Each structure stands twice: as structure tokens, then as C-alpha cells.
Structure 1
């Protein structure tokens, strides 16, 4: 195969695997695929080194690249990582926090940076539905369970009235929560103390799946964590190539969907997850057959929510519109 050589980076998801194993080809492209042990390493290489032509980026990382003017990147409407995030809020059982309103005035830990992708959505939802205001809390930003390199390759904005401090290097926020040194924790990753079943910690919403399903029924929002960006030069100079890249990601996701849906006939026996077929059936009933949509038309509400929350939480100096951050010729997809 001959075509334009592109470096393309993403984590090892089922919805991208058909690209990296070459079952799906990108027309007119000779790709070199890249990944990393943890996905923030991909973000850092793209933002700090411009290491790739096409790269997965967390939405908050991407939006922070607009801090000093136009970003060097534009997004395509591909969303490889999305997750309902009521389940990302953890509390100490001795903290006295029984309901969302009890978070007011508390000390809350947050993974990696103030306003990480899994922090923006919970704060926004809590503000919309329970009157939560981040400026009324004290925030400690740090790691959980395993050391991470500092997220020093993007700006760290927050409003002047918000009390944010960095935990000392090597601090485990999950351990602080279990010890009662912080009252709550918001984290994309599940802390070890929760996985181990410590009686000293629990989720704010114990029946989080029911809460998250109800949230989707009411709002139509399946929260987006990450998108895929291309360099602005590629977007402007090679629109046909960018369209082909977008189609490649869509085809790879469709391959994964087909495999899962076809596997339902055989009780998804290739996957070590009991009752997976029933879960897929319930998800399709609620979310539709395209339960992980790409393109703008199925994602407007989710995109608008994260852009609004990002501004309301002081992470961007204005509220961006989707038309400002996505490749213009893919807006109507």
C-alpha cells in the first residue's frame, strides 16, 4: 500500500483495534500507529513534542491548548473514551457525607490536575442538579496508587477564589481518603481502597448504574472524555486525508460493535464477563444500536455540556462553541 505517511496515536481500545491490527485501512494513508502504557503519555507527546499527525487527546487537555490563542490542533468527531461519571465520586464513610449536598465546604481530592476529564463532568452535574459550587471546597490534586509524571505540559487554570493545592509527590489520594485526611475524591481511576472493599470508603452514589442510566434518560448525554485531534496544518491542507482518517476510526468502531452484537448469539463466550449479553441488550435498549456514537449529530448535547462546564469551572476564559474546535468540514457528520 502506498499513501500519505501519518503517525497516529491512541490507546489500545476495542474500538480502535481494527486500525492497529490493520483489519481496517485508511484510504490514501500509510499509517504508523503508536500507543503508550497510560494514555496521558500520548497526550504529553502530542502537546509537548507534536509527535503525531493524529492523536487521541483528553477534551480538557485539548481545550487548554487554546490558552494563548488558536490551538495547533483541531478535533474530528471521534470519541474513543467516554464514561458516565456519577461513579467517579468517592467519599469517606466517616465523613458524614450521605448526599451530594453534604459535599459543600469539604476537602476533596482530584486525580492528576484540577479539572481532569473525569472531574469536569461530575462537578458540572453536581452543580446543575444539586447546587454544588467548586469554589466552596478545598481541593488537593495528586495521584492514586501508582506514581504519575506531573501534568506540566498544559496550563493549570482555576478561578482565584478556588482553593487548590498540589499533594506532595508520592501521595496516594486513595490512602488519604481511607485515612480520613480528605473527605471525598473525584478520580477517573478507581482507587485501590475501593477495589479492595475497604469499609472506610464508598461511592457517593452507591447504586451508580441506576443513577447514571436515569441521567441519560433525562438528558440524552453520554459524557465524552477524549476526542481525536489532527494538526491544524493537516486539517487545512489535506481535507480528503482527514475525512479518510475520520472514516477509518468510524469503520474500526463499527467492527467492534459488529463483533459484540454478533457475539450475543453465542452468549459472548469469547469474553470473560458473565451476563455480558444481557448487559449489552439493556444498553442497546437505552442507548440505541449505535450506543457509542461518533459524529456531531449524536453528540451535540454531550459536547455542549463539557464546553459549558469547562468555562463555568474557570478552565477556559470563554465558552467555546463546537464550531471553533472541530474540523469545519466534519461538523455536519
Structure 2
């Protein structure tokens, strides 16, 4: 009898084939769900509403400090992004370099240590000597007020000044007014998109910085994994089928771009896209969005170190601690 699975993930181009039926999970009768806000999927994951679900890395790792940690991860990374582009500053604050953030008040989206925040705090500490305790932190929504995410553990390390924005406040407005000096956010402030000259990126030429970061480290930062309950993790055939299905869906998306190069990607609406594609292909390789542990271990181990150093994990976890045993050799 096939396993019945309730699966939740955002609809990306590399998961679309799962939703439209081009790819199925062998040995399972799966139904797929999504949400416009991926954090809603995370919350329902914590509430144990899904059998398989996309889960933000920091949200997932925080569950390991619960009395009975309920999940393990499959080495599937539906969301990843370079994050130097996620740091914004008030242009009147006199911040010209990352080291100028010392002593400043910085906003952070959603919670202290959201996934881009963990990556950027770690990078700022490793490469510029700027540790989180040297700044003050205000947590909130970028363009819309949000309440604290009280459905997930929210550790704050000793010696780090963290508070939540007041009711009705947004970090974008606070940044534009100068109430905060900088912002780390997955969302680009609407004011910047609308042409405000009071907000700028800390790294104006972020693409060059991020490409250099990849050349030096080999890290393409992961934001999310796919999680399953521990009782599912022991079903080797099933978790292998889930992994293969997500991998096949991703390969369909990547193959579309590789095949499209012969026609200069005439189906893509973005001008000069083929040039960008070839540049990325030359840097990142034929599989520029890899799944499996072998191709991602360096990045994952780096995130696990950052998570522990930033006081978000009680102990430094390893890849062997967090991934389904049957998929450690992928």
C-alpha cells in the first residue's frame, strides 16, 4: 500500500513539476500544498500538520533544543541565495563599510537569527571581525508589522541587545527615518524599490562581492531544507523516493535553461539573460543548484557553526545529527 503524504513547499520553478504532476513520488500518494508566505508553512510544520515540508534552516535547527526534537532533514535545498545583497543602510548614518556597523542599531526581519541574518552575521564576523554583540538589534517586519514568532524557540545569547519593534512599527520606516542605522532582511525595503535616496545597500556592487565570496569559499548559501518527522526518516525506501522526486523536479527546471541556451533563451522575458546564464554556468557549474550532502557539506557545516556561535543552538550540530541517515551518502 502506498504511503499517504501531505507535502508542503513554496511553488518554485524547481518544485513546479511536483505540483503539476510531471513528477511523482514513487510508492506514495502525495498531495501538495503551498502558501504565499513560506513562514506559514514553517509554522504548520512545527504544528505537525505535514508529512514532508519545506523548513527554514534556523527554524529547523531550533527544534533540536526541544525536549524531543521531532524532525530530520533531507538534503534538498529549495531556497538558497547569496545574502550580501540583504544588508541595507540609512544613507545619512555614515556607514561606508561593514566595520562601520559596530555600535549601531540594526533591524532584522522576523526573528533574531532569521536565515539570511545567520549567514550575514557569520560572514561579518568571519571576514570583518564584526560580532553580533557589537550592535543593537531590533526585530520586526520589513514593510508590514509582524508579531513575534512565538511558535518557535527564540534564544537570545547573553550580552546581545535584542528587542522587538513596537506595535505598528516597520523596519523599513525606521530605517528611512534613521531610527535604526541598518537592516538585515530577506525582503527589500519598499522605499528603496520606490526610489528613496535615504536607503542604500551596504554592498552597492553586491553581485561582484557575492561572486568573489563563492570563488573563495565554494559556498552558495542554503536558506531552507525539506524536513520529515523522525518516524518517517526511518523508512529508507520512502525518504529515498521523496529525495529522488524533488531532485527530478529540479533537474527539469535546470534542463530547461541548459536546452534554452541553443535558442538564446527566447522564451525568457529578461534581456541579455543568456549572457547572465553562461556567466553563472561558468562559475557555478552544470548543476548550479545541487542537492545531496556531498556538494553542500561545506556550506551546511558553516551554517551549523554560525548557528552555534550566535547562541542559537546549545551545541554545535553536525550534518550527521540533522540529516536522514539513509541519505548521508548523497
Aligned match of 1:319:
316
Residue 11 of structure 2 corresponds to residue 23 of structure 1: no
What's the offset of the Cα at 1:220? 0.4
Q: In the alignment, which residue of structure 1 is the partner of 2:91? A: 93
Match of 1:46 in 2: 45
Task: Give the Å deviation of 1:184.
Answer: 0.3
Count, aligned residues: 330
Q: Distance in 1 between matches of 2:166 and 2:199?
A: 22
* Candidates 99, 102, 106, aligned match of 2:100: 102
1:143·1:170 contact (CA, 8 Å) conserved in 2? no
Asked whether 1:81 is paired with 2:79, we answer yes
TM-superposed CA distance for 1:226, in Å, is 0.3
Tell whether 2:66 aligns with 1:68.
yes
Asked whether 1:184 is paired with 2:182, we answer: yes
Mapped partners of 1:267, 1:146: distance in 2: 39
Measure the CA separation in 1 of the matches of 2:238 and 2:281.
Answer: 32
Higher mean C-alpha deviation, range 223-232 or range 67-76: 67-76
Partner residue, 1:141:
139
Q: Which region of structure 1 is more displaced relative to structure 2, 269-278 or 102-111?
A: 269-278
CA deviations over 1:221-274 (Å, ceiling 9, x no partner): 0001000011111112x2101100000000000000011111222222222211
Secondary structure of the structure 1 residue equivalent to 2:65: coil
Q: Distance in 2 between matches of 1:30 and 1:68?
A: 31
Shift of 1:3: 2.2
Q: What's the offset of the Cα at 1:70?
A: 4.4
8 A contact 1:144–1:171 mirrored in 2 = no
Unpaired runs of at least 5, structure 2: none
* Structure 1 residues 311 and 208: alpha-carbon distance in aligned structure 2, compared to 1, 3 A threshold: same
2:223 pairs with 1:257 = no
Out of 123, 126, 129, the residue aligned to residue 125 of structure 1 is 123
- Comparing 144-153 with 129-138, which one deviates more in the overlay? 144-153
Residue 25 of structure 1 deviates from its aligned partner by 1.3
SS of residue matched to 1:261? helix
Q: Secondary structure at the match of 2:246?
A: helix
Determine if contact 1:107/1:184 at 8 Å carries over to the other structure: yes
Q: TM-score, normalised by structure 2?
A: 0.98
Residue 157 (structure 2) aligns with: 159
Superposition misfits of 4+ residues, deviation over 4 angstroms: none
The unaligned stretches of length 5 or more in structure 1 are none
SS at match of 1:221: coil
Cα deviation per residue 1:291-329 (whole Å; 9 max; x = unaligned)?
Answer: 000000100111011000000000011110010000011
1:34 aligns with 2:30: no
What SS is found at the alignment partner of 1:297? Answer: coil
Distance 2:195 2:125 in 1: 29
Alpha carbon RMSD of aligned pairs, Å? 1.1
What per-residue deviation string (whole Å, max 9, x for no partner) do you get for residues 85-114 of structure 1?
Answer: 111110011001000110001000000000
The match for 1:206 among 204, 207, 210 is: 204
Residues 307 and 321 in structure 1, CA contact (< 8 A), matched pair in contact too: yes
Judging changes above 3 Å, is the alpha-carbon distance between structure 1 residues 246 and 294 closer, same or farther for their aligned structure 2 residues? same
TM-score under structure 1 length normalisation = 0.97
- The answer to whether the 8 A contact 2:139-2:164 is kept is yes
Q: Pick closer, same or farther for the CA change 1:34–1:148 going to 2, 3 Å.
A: farther
Farther-moved stretch of structure 1 (50-59 vs 145-154): 145-154
User: Is the 8 Å Cα contact of residues 41 and 53 (structure 2) preserved in structure 1?
Assistant: yes
Is the contact made by 2:140 and 2:147 (CA closer than 8 Å) also made in structure 1? no
CA distance in 2, matches of 1:85, 1:153: 25
Matched, 1:150 2:148: yes
